[in-house]
A and B are shown apart, each in its own frame.
Chain A
Amino acid sequence: MPDLGPAEWFTWAEEQGWGDGLPTVAPTEDLVEAMLAGLAGGVPDDVPELGPLPPSRLVPGLRAIAANAVMAGCRPVDLPVVLAALQGLQHEAYNLHGSLATTHPCAPMVLVSGPARGRLGMNSGVNCFGQGTRANAVVGRAVSLTLLNIGGARPGTMDRSTQGSPAKYTFCFAENTDDSPWEPFSVRRGFAADDSVVTVMAAEPPHNINDHGSTTGEEILTTVAGTMAQSGSNNVYVRGPHLLVLGPEHAATLHRDGWTVEAIRHHLWERARIPLDRVSESNHRQFADWGIKPDGDAYTVSTGPDQLHVLVAGGPGKHSAWIPSFGSTEAVSVRVPGG
């Protein structure tokens, strides 16, 4: 094709149906080759072989994934994290096809733990879910573009999300272990501290938990539990995982008061309950059809405390975040190829 400037390329790519609506970088052969050459020592032995991506059922090759990474604005150092995320998405428990085709607004959340955070310059602190950091922005976007361009999950055709969400453009952040009083999330999931790990989950965007008033860990958890107990959440009847991302200040208060992660999970399991009178009669029947019965005078929010995942991210301030999921998914953790 003739050489195109950035604006002409954007228009041309749009006409091909390539992209997410935002400008992309043209995946020229030289940029794609440079992306692939950036994999440490060539292609590491532990780069996963990916299976077919739904809904197109096409098996993505490294070159096509690298092309999407270029389009997203990735640097070569970002590619192994993108590959790990795509591997995680293909785990059966993630339910990629269902999460792409659903009317629910879930997006492929990418959480990064371990040394890759520093290598990529990821933001795990102030505004970690928001704009402003290249690695966070482009890694999540490369994953989404791959699902769009190769997987064929196009809005309105195979992506049937009723409203979608901004997280479908990109949803990637890093764990803040420097300000966490507990073991890193990835270590608690069985990985070594020097492993770089990606955790993916079909997730709603973060829901803020504002608590400036509470002064004890138990009070903070009262607010968290109240935020999680939403009658309109998929997790009420589809079940599945939740992610609680504590801001460092909330985490510090909890730790000061002796709360362990396991204690938090069990406490929230008992307290995040939806009173029966907050659920409509028709939904009581709908939940029953799914085999969900109230526990006493309230509904639980999943199947047990093991589905309530807890970690720390963010900067100063009295905010945390609840990330509910599609329900029919799991938090899947994968080691980044090349370490």
Chain B
Amino acid sequence: MRIVDPTFGTPVEEDTPTVVAADVPARSLCLFSNSKPGANELLRGVAGHLEAERGFAGIGFSSKPNAAAGAAPDVLDHLAAQYRMAVVAIGD
């Protein structure tokens, strides 16, 4: 028998990812939380270790407006323009 694939869909062309600005320092790092208390705590712990053991400084922090909503694109663009790396936590 011939089956119609119930998972079929057409991929969309995704927006081009934001390119990091050339003048962003190589070790610039931000933390990005889904805004839940557990995620914030995880990120604080990560930041402490990275500062103490890896010499990171000036670690930035941002979060979604709330855990139930998506991150605003302009916030992500802003972070991409400021930092080379991000650690994302979605832990509860």
Contacts and interface: CB of A to CB of B under 8 A. Distances in A.
A63 interface: yes
Contacts of A328: 66, 68-69
B42 to A, nearest CB: 15
Interface in A19-60: 26-29, 32, 51-53, 56-60
B4 A150 contact: no
Given A58-B10, A59-B10, A286-B37, A64 B68 contact: no
A205 to B, nearest CB: 18
A133 interface: no
A190 B10 CA distance: 34
A58 B9 contact: yes
A98 interface: yes
A28 B68 contact: no
Chain B interface, DSSP helix/strand/loop, else mixed: loop
B3 interface: yes
B2 A28 contact: yes
Contacts, number: 90
Q: Which of B4, B8, B69 has the most CB of A within 10 A?
A: B4
A64 B66 contact: no
A4 B2 CA distance: 10
A326 interface: yes
Contacts of A103: 92
Interface stretch (A66-74, A77-85, A211-219, A330-338): A66-74
A128 to B, nearest CB: 28
A60 B2 contact: no
A150 B1 contact: no
Contacts of A51: 12
Interface of B: 1-12, 14, 35, 37, 66-70, 92
Closest 6 CB pairs of A and B: A58-B9, A328-B68, A67-B6, A67-B4, A32-B4, A59-B10
